[in-house]
Amino acid sequence: MRQALSNWFNGKGWVKLMIGIPFVWLTLFFLLPFFIVVAMSFATNTTTQPPFSFGGEHPLLNFIGYQRLFGDGLYLRAFLTSISNASGATLFCLLLGYPMALALTRVSKGWRNILLMLVILPFWTSFLLRVYAWMGLMGKSSWFNKMITSWWNALVPVDWAVNFMPMMYSNFAVVLVMTYTYLPFMILPLYANLERLDPSLDEAAMDLGTKPFGVFRDITLPQSIPGIIAGGLLVFIPAAGEMVIPTLVGDAANPMIGRVINDEFAQARDWPMAATVAVALLVLMVGPMMIYSHYQAVAEGEDKP
């Protein structure tokens, strides 16, 4: 037995073990919970414990949750709000993160390490504390709110500015806090992509008379598209399913889908409906990943001779 185990590990057994561990992990903690949630989405809501049931007086496959999902305006509005807020946060993260990532590749190595540490530094503090800090900044009596309101009053009539006063409990607050929270997820993939670019291409273009903006538009930007896509997915996917930020700073009358799922589980105790919404959200998140995988496959196919 010992000799067989020794031969197995000395051969390809060790490699198979190292490859098999991630598959076991994914099966236990991703596939199995996913199938449980999918099965729960077809259950019937009851007053039992847990509050759903299969069979007996109830059908094995109950499609009421999916009918409500596409027929009730609450869920459709929540999905649209989630996509809108997540898209806005992704766009702002790109506009802020791209110049920062590009600057990181242009500074010296000493400053680069310091700036990278500053980018990662927010992760060393509690996520919840950072959201509460923004809640204090966006309060009506805070200096930040007064500064933004004064700028708004200088640009538009006073009657319009009154509607801008409550920064808290709005989609504006949700997008602002999500942009701050997920900005490092945009900067780091962009930096990793931009750092691998060959600087001699920019120098050659400059030598041929191309202006700096033309160099960026024709050389740097096209080569950084994979980093933009990776950063965009890393921001959009968690932002679309965000629950904590919309709950603390968002509009309760116009919730995002993460808050709807939490309310269905915790308050309404309608676990089948919550599972249905969760499955729909997962499908919505898998779509961008499939598009990205297709883009990568096409790009790798074009690179092969």
Model pLDDT, residue 301:
63
Model pLDDT, residue 9:
58
Using alpha carbons only, how large is the chain's radius of gyration in Å? 25
pLDDT-derived band at 162, boundaries 50, 70, 90 = very low
pLDDT-derived band at 199, boundaries 50, 70, 90 = confident
Alpha-carbon span 233 to 120, nearest angstrom: 19
- 123 is written with which tokens? 């992760």
Rounded to two decimals, the pTM is: 0.83
pLDDT-derived band at 243, boundaries 50, 70, 90 = very high
Residue 217 main-chain phi, psi, to 5 deg: -70, -40
Tokens 């409906």 found at: 273
Does 266 have pLDDT greater than 70?
yes
285 within 8 A of 237, measured Cβ to Cβ: yes
Mean pLDDT computed over 184-191: 94
Mean residue pLDDT of the chain comes to 84
pLDDT-derived band at 161, boundaries 50, 70, 90 = very low
Does 159 have pLDDT greater than 60?
no
Exposure string of 11-47, with b = 16+ CB inside 10 Å and e = fewer, is eeeeeeeeeeeeeeeeeeeeeeeeeebeebbbbbbbe
Alpha-carbon span 165 to 236, nearest angstrom: 28
Alpha-carbon span 255 to 141, nearest angstrom: 25
Does 183 have pLDDT greater than 90?
yes
Q: Which residue has the higher pLDDT, 181 or 4?
A: 181
The most confident of 15-19, 108-112, 183-187, 198-202, by mean pLDDT: 183-187
Question: Which range among 14-18, 37-41, 76-80, 116-120 shows the weakest confidence by mean pLDDT?
Answer: 14-18
269 within 8 A of 51, measured Cβ to Cβ: yes
Model pLDDT, residue 71:
86
Does 187 have pLDDT greater than 90?
yes
Does 165 have pLDDT greater than 70?
no
Look at the chain and count its residues: 305
Question: Which range among 111-115, 144-148, 250-254 shows the weakest confidence by mean pLDDT?
Answer: 144-148
Alpha-carbon span 250 to 112, nearest angstrom: 36
| 72-269 is a CATH 1.10.287.3510 domain | no
Distances in whole angstroms, Cα of residue 269 to Cα of each of 44, 65, 190, 264, 275? 12, 13, 42, 6, 11
Does 160 have pLDDT greater than 80?
no
- Residue 93's SS3 state is helix
243 within 8 A of 160, measured Cβ to Cβ: no
Beta strands 52-53 and 44-45 are antiparallel
Residues 6+ apart with CB under 8 A from 175: 85, 88, 89, 92
pLDDT tens column, 72-106? 888 999 999 999 999 999 999 999 999 999 999 98
Question: Which range among 23-27, 154-158, 212-216 shows the weakest confidence by mean pLDDT?
Answer: 154-158
Does 220 have pLDDT greater than 70?
yes
